[in-house]
Amino acid sequence: MSARGMFRPLGAAILVLAMASVPALAADDPDVARLRARLSALQADPVLSRGAGLELLEALQAVNALDAARRGDRPDALYLAERRLEIAETMARAGAARAELSRLDLQRADLLVEASRREAEKARREAEQLRIQAQIHAEETERLRLAAEAEALARTEAEEALGQAAGRQTAQLSAARRKEAELARQEAELVSGKKLPPSSFGNAGEVFVVPGSAYASGKSSLTASGKDAAAALAAYLQIGSKRQVRIRAWDKDPKVAQSRAAALRDALVAAGVDKGRIKADGVKDPATAKRAAEVTVAP
């Protein structure tokens, strides 16, 4: 404890004696009366006076000095007395706040101890229940895992069986379609007396590749071989189901490319193919000797 702190109780006792010896308030000195009234009120509060004994004594001494000061010294004495009293009041409030804070800290510590005790008791009560719940959860998780594994295995086996069946069905269907296309090709070439362009099968269907010789160089009109290919294609497209047809023609000039696609479409329509089945597009890209146009027949 500091010397100032040790002096506070002694200062408070001295202040009580000093205040008791103070004569009645001077009726002709309102400043002294006012300051002594504030001192009396502060000293009368046991909570506040306990925290500022020394400061209260210094304030009393300053007020007494003001009462005894000569006229010329009164302004300085009054200023000092007011400052001493303000310091005493501030220290008193600070001391009261510290005391209240200490009380609250002790109360909080007690509450924390009690809360910890209750929490520990609650944890002990819940421990067994949590252990049982964890065991039930683990058993349920294991049961669900085994059920999921069994379901996944059954699904995999079923999917493999379906995949194999679908693969066989697709292979059979593809072989049937290729056989059907081959027979239709033979029939079309027989009926038209012309040879069909080479074709291949893909996801989009059967694709016939029309060579560059089917068009006049740099033009959109069909050559004799192009007209022969169109006649054979028209005969092919009128055999069996009426599937959709897409024509794409190539040329570095997009207008020529579109005109080439339209010329091949018109030749098919003139040979009896329904115009509504055909879609014709030009592709801005140079044609080659092997490919100037493609005719795709949907599956």
Q: pLDDT > 90: what percent of the chain?
A: 54
DSSP the chain: --HHHHHHHHHHHHHHHHHHTPPSPPTT-HHHHHHHHHHHHHHH-HHHHHT-HHHHHHHHHHHHHHHH--GGGHHHHHHHHHHHHHHHHHHHHHHHHHHHHHHHHHHHHHHHHHHHHHHHHHHHHHHHHHHHHHHHHHHHHHHHHHHHHHHHHHHHHHHHHHHHHHHHHHHHHHHHHHHHHHHHHHHHHHHHSSPPPPEEEETTEEEEEE-GGGB-TTSSSB-HHHHHHHHHHHHHHTSSS---EEEEEEESSHHHHHHHHHHHHHHHHHTT--GGGEEEEEEEB---SS-SEEEEE--
| Confidence at residue 171, expressed as pLDDT on a 0 to 100 scale | 64
Residues 35-49: pLDDT tens digits? 999 999 898 888 887
Residues 138-147: pLDDT tens digits? 888 888 888 8
Residues 210-243: pLDDT tens digits? 999 999 988 999 999 999 999 999 999 999 778 9
Whole-model pTM?
Answer: 0.44
Work out the pLDDT band at 166, boundaries 50, 70, 90. low
